A and B are shown apart, each in its own frame.
Chain A
Amino acid sequence: MKLKSTLLFFLVLTTFSCKKDTEDQTPTKSFEANADGIYISNEGGFTAGKASITYSDGTEAETIQDVFRIANDENLGDVCHSMAAINGLIYLVVNNSSKIEVVQPLTMKKVKTISGLTSPRFIVKATPDKAYVSDLYSNQISIINLTTNTVSGSINLTGSTEDMLLYNGKMYVTNLSTAFLYVIDAATDVVEDSIAIGSGGNSLQLDMNNKIWVLCGGDFVTSAPASLHRVDPATKTAELSLTFPTPDYPSQLCINETNDALFFLNTNVYKMQITDSTLPTTAFVDAAGKSFYAMGYDRISTLLYVSDAIDYQQAGRIYRYTSTGSEISGLPAGIIPGDFLFLNN
């Protein structure tokens, strides 16, 4: 009798255990944007494999999460680091999946997957038929053939190459692990110069006077401080260098629609005019404890988009500010919103 009841107890336990108590997955539906809009890439957490794309027409009501998965019925991959619009297509750089997904705007339908990369960070068009891809670990810039969307070659460049900017036929490449801004001739793919700046260049912008501003985060190992430089592409020298106090780590250099005011993140959001000769000391937007992570400037609506990654383990939020720094309605995003692409023109 006792044996029976014991066995029954075990059986009940086992049966109960086999039940799944999870909800069904969200049913797959097609995604079709009504109009061009704003795309937000969300990293999704390192190794989580939950990178995603948020689409928005600029209103919270028309903000749709995870549109890549909806359109293609598959996850985007691990850590989508950046996006670029090239030749009418959107390139999604999926860093820790070592790939770039090429998709159609509006539908988000996959056109091609570019593989054969190591740890891609940014893609920038170099000529009408090729683009460069920077990389954290491969010690080279990969060349993408934009006709076939395949890797067609590489350019050796030691260190962690990061953000890039094409100006006047030259690609200017920042490097997180050196104190130089590299110049590559986009026609010949030859590294033809390196311009001494601060350590850890992470972002750059071209201003109305055709000067290149480079923001450097510094170097934790050598304790080199962060800095901001104005580089003259004509003379290939930094004609203005401003140093941040340690241990500041500024990033995400953006420029406004008239190319005469810069924004960057340094815990808070800071704004400076290109004519300023000192770093701003008063925040443009005070983070007030929020985890500001990425920034993008919409040149059409002239709004500054700032993402809050909160604790990096939950859906983030986008805050939007006007040119005077006043906050307007925000937008919901995915986990660790890391880059913005404005296709609303």
Chain B
Amino acid sequence: MLLFSLNLSAQIDSSIQLRTVQINSIRNENNSTGLKQEKTDSLIKMISIDKSMGTVLSEQSPALVKNYGPGALSSVSMRGGSAYHTAVLWKGFSLANPMNGVMDFNLLPTFLFEDISIQYGGATAIWGSGAVSGVIHLNDNNTFINRNSLKVGSRYSNASGWANFIDGKFSIKNFSSSIKLFLTDEKNAYPFQQDDEMKKQVHAESKGSGLIAENTYSINTTTAINFNFWYQYANRNIAPVMTEAISNAVQRDRNYRYNITFTKDGNKGRFAFRNAYFNESLYYNDSALSQPSNSLCKTFISEPEYSYAFNEHHSIQTGINFTKINAITAEYNQEEEVIRESIYLSYRFQFRKLILSASARKEFNNYEKPPFAFSLGANYKMNSWIKLLANYSTVYRNPQVNDLYWQPGGNIDLLPETGYTYEGMIDLDLLHFARKIHNDTNAISIQLTAFNKNIDNWIAWTPHGILWTPGNIKSVHSYGSESVFIFRKQFAKTGIRLSAFYGYTVSETTSSEIPYDASVGKQLIYVPFHKAGGTFSVYYRKSIVSVNHTFTGVRFINTDNSDLLESYGLSNVQIDQRIDMKNNSLGAFFRIDNLFNTDYQSVQNRPQPLRTYSIGINLTFRQQKNHS
């Protein structure tokens, strides 16, 4: 937790929080004992308001972000796993498209979520299929406030274009609502360098819109209903690769997501009935090809959960998950239905400085027969400044619906990817060691984590003759370390803050079903051995200056490691200023991205902008203070 307050707190959230209704899921960090967790702090959230989740993760974490360019696909993988190995959960419901398994982080504007946290490591027993290398939690605060507010903002970037947003929050008696709306219109006609020539990106226009409405009705002090709706639309031209003269490809993503949760608190127990319905459409048309592709997917999830604390030492959590997926595209023989049911149980023991937990999940489905998954974790507070964490988990990832049914090639006999992962972490509070008080404004801490992960039955599409089909073709061993350093210091009206990370990742193919496969013993493509970064901020009264730098090491682009993409460093600098006017405030920022004009590639032959400039402005209107 990298909370940040003081002068900034007012700027970040000027409303007083009355009470927080815990709705997102009963399962939370308590179940993930022994795993590393990071919460994106308020300052980072505030200075990243116009950025996508992909950009924020790329700047702030050792996660690998494959970015196909402004407006285009952005995928995230952690700890040497595949992009399918990171579960993205909105209030505990998985967001990845069940058909292709892809989560496009460019379609996740940071401003939509009040609460973003990253959990590293395997958590299949708790969150189900896909929580193999990590979980990204997107939540809201479900907060009742005493002052209604409306915030409107715009950003213009000379690389991409316009992004506009509105964020309204209000509470009436037992009802609280938050509505966020955004509209983007990006040309993405940026200049880039190819060989020694300057070119201009073409056919990369993107238009997007979205609405997220989160409502909580508190029936009484122990019972609440939470209803959420999220609509999003993106219409994007797919830019040509550097090797192509032109592109005619168009992609349209349209998603309707609903969820409704009923919670009832008892004396020692808590019951939640969680339900979600997602309706997703993906249209892709390359006019150079013969026929457009349209994929439609409806997912229904129902999840009753119950937690019970026997006493201060022992507690359990249990639940049932029912998921029904109906998917159709011209490439399937018919509409395909996949039903997955699972049951999970988690036990937690707390005694003085020690927390132990054990979780287990068994999933039942018609096809892949996923294995029993379990995890064991421990947190131990050795003394006032040293905390130790350890976790062992078995993990799995089910095949996607396309893997099973796509014609030609779909393979109904695919097995889930399975494996195990373990990790250990030491968390050092150095300020406490120096007998000083650690708080929101003063901190020096170091976290060192080491992890290991083995995955078998790794799924990949490979040709059989000329027909491509997915198979369980290899085993992969990943290991490495993550280091985090945090420094916060406050002097009168000035404060400084530094957070830095370094990730070292080895991810090797250990065996392959393909004869004479030279990838055995080699690093997986696109996994950098080294990724490091840091954000340094100085604030004085209502002004902030922030500098961010990230370094991404070389990444191989061929499985025999014969060719690579160069390492690169990217820096940006941002100035934020706020002016208060009674209840209202005006905020503005100016940012220079890619400060040193670095010519780099995140994905082979996908051009990235050189130095670019962004300017943003936002206005916050707040209701007069009332007496509550």
Contacts and interface: CB of A to CB of B under 8 A. Distances in A.
A163 to B, nearest CB: 14
A217 B467 CA distance: 10
B413 interface: no
A315 interface: yes
A265 interface: yes
Contacts, number: 141
A17 B532 CA distance: 8
Contacts of B243: 47-49, 77-78, 96-97
Contacts of A17: 532, 549-551, 569
B241 A14 contact: no
Contact of A21 (B462, B500, B554, B562): B554
B171 interface: no
A2 B519 CA distance: 46
Given A2-B487, A22-B567, A96-B244, A311 B517 contact: yes
B327 to A, nearest CB: 19
A200 B605 CA distance: 32
Contacts of A137: 288-290
Given A2-B444, A21-B554, A137-B289, A220 B408 contact: yes
Interface in A289-303: 289-293
Question: By CB atoms of chain A within 10 A, which of B485, B496, B518, B566 has the most?
Answer: B518
Contact of A220 (B244, B407, B464): B407
Contacts of B569: 14, 17-18
A124 B288 CA distance: 23
A48 B605 contact: yes
Interface string B525-559: 10000001010100000000000011101100111
B267 to A, nearest CB: 48
A313 B241 contact: no
B338 interface: no
A74 to B, nearest CB: 8
B465 A310 contact: no
B549 A13 contact: yes
B328 to A, nearest CB: 16
Nearest to A19: B567
A90 interface: no
Contacts of A97: 243-245
B154 interface: no
Nearest to A5: B487
Interface stretch (A190-198, A244-252, A271-279): A244-252
B467 A315 contact: no
A21 B512 CA distance: 29
A9 interface: yes
Contacts of B500: 9-10, 13
B354 interface: no
Give the interface size bracket for B toward A.
35 or more
A266 B465 contact: yes
Contacts of B604: 47-49
Contacts of A49: 241-243, 604-605
B207 interface: no
Contacts of B554: 21-22
A177 B463 CA distance: 21
Contacts of A247: 408, 467
Contacts of B580: none
Interface string B378-408: 0000000000000000000000000000011
A162 to B, nearest CB: 13
Interface in A1-28: 2-3, 6-7, 9-10, 13-14, 16-18, 20-22
Contacts of B566: 20, 22
B514 A310 contact: yes
Contact of B241 (A47, A217, A267, A317): A47
A156 to B, nearest CB: 16
A60 to B, nearest CB: 15
A234 interface: no
B136 to A, nearest CB: 25
Contacts of A220: 407-408
A10 B407 contact: no
A98 B553 CA distance: 33
Nearest to A138: B288
B198 interface: no
A315 B562 contact: yes
Given A17-B549, A98-B245, A311 B515 contact: no
Interface residues of A, number: 53
Contacts of B489: 2-3
Nearest to B333: A223
Given A10-B534, A248-B465, A315-B558, A290 B549 contact: no
Nearest to B287: A137
Contacts of B550: 17
Interface in B389-444: 407-408, 444
A320 interface: no
A68 B515 CA distance: 29
Contacts of A144: none
A117 B564 CA distance: 30
B498 interface: yes
Interface string B492-518: 000010101010000000001111111
Nearest to A202: B466
B265 interface: no
B498 A9 contact: yes
A305 interface: no
Contacts of B515: 288-290
B519 A311 contact: yes
Nearest to B518: A314
Interface string B448-468: 000000000000101111110
B560 interface: yes
B203 to A, nearest CB: 14
Contacts of B563: 50
B66 to A, nearest CB: 14
A6 B498 contact: yes
A13 B485 CA distance: 12
Interface in B590-606: 604-605
Contacts of B514: 289-291, 310-311
Contacts of B464: 267
A288 B513 CA distance: 11
Nearest to B538: A3
Contacts of B551: 13, 16-18
A308 interface: yes
Contacts of A18: 551, 569
Nearest to B550: A17
Contacts of B605: 47-49
A104 to B, nearest CB: 23
Nearest to B569: A17
B562 A312 contact: no
Given A9-B500, A21-B553, A293 B518 contact: no
Most buried by A among B519, B525, B563, B571: B563
Given A220-B407, A266-B465, A291-B462, A313 B513 contact: no
B462 A14 contact: no
A314 to B, nearest CB: 4
A267 B465 contact: yes
21 contacts: A3-B489, A6-B487, A6-B496, A9-B500, A18-B551, A22-B554, A22-B566, A48-B604, A49-B242, A50-B563, A77-B243, A118-B288, A137-B290, A251-B465, A289-B515, A290-B516, A292-B465, A311-B514, A313-B519, A313-B558, A313-B560
Given A98-B245, A249-B465, A311-B462, 12 more contacts: A9-B485, A10-B534, A48-B605, A50-B563, A217-B466, A289-B513, A289-B514, A291-B462, A291-B463, A293-B463, A317-B516, A335-B558
- For the complex of A and B, list the 3 residue pairs with the smallest distance between their C-beta atoms, beginning with the closest: A17-B551, A49-B243, A314-B560
Interface of B: 241-245, 288-290, 407-408, 444, 460, 462-467, 485, 487, 489, 496, 498, 500, 502, 512-519, 525, 532, 534, 536, 549-551, 553-554, 557-560, 562-564, 566-567, 569, 571, 604-605
